Amino acid sequence: MDVTDTLLTLAADRFSRDRSKLRPEDDFFEALEIDSVDAMTLLTAVEEKFGVEIPDYEVQDVRTFSALAAVIGRRI
């Protein structure tokens, strides 16, 4: 399973965005037009999807899909 690709699809579904317009290097706050509270709920969806547990502080400065995918990748 390609983590980045799965993550982009998950994010697009969750916030009803056009998947084809999301790129791995995008800042997800801007691309999804979400705030930090929304981003936290995305993280929970990520945990369920990938079957991992990610401490909150590991993602506190993460802003792009690719960086988030890297964090997930380390935990899988």
Residues 6 or more apart in contact with residue 17 via CB below 8 angstroms: 11, 31, 32
Choose the stretch contacting another protein; rule: CB under 8 A; options: 5-13, 15-23, 31-39, 65-73.
31-39
Please tell me whether residue 16 binds another protein under the rule CB under 8 A.
Answer: no
Identity of the residue, 2 or 76, whose beta carbon is nearer to another protein in the bound complex: 76
Residue numbers at the binding site for another protein (CB under 8 A): 27, 29-30, 33, 36-37, 40-41, 43-44, 53, 55-58, 60-61, 63
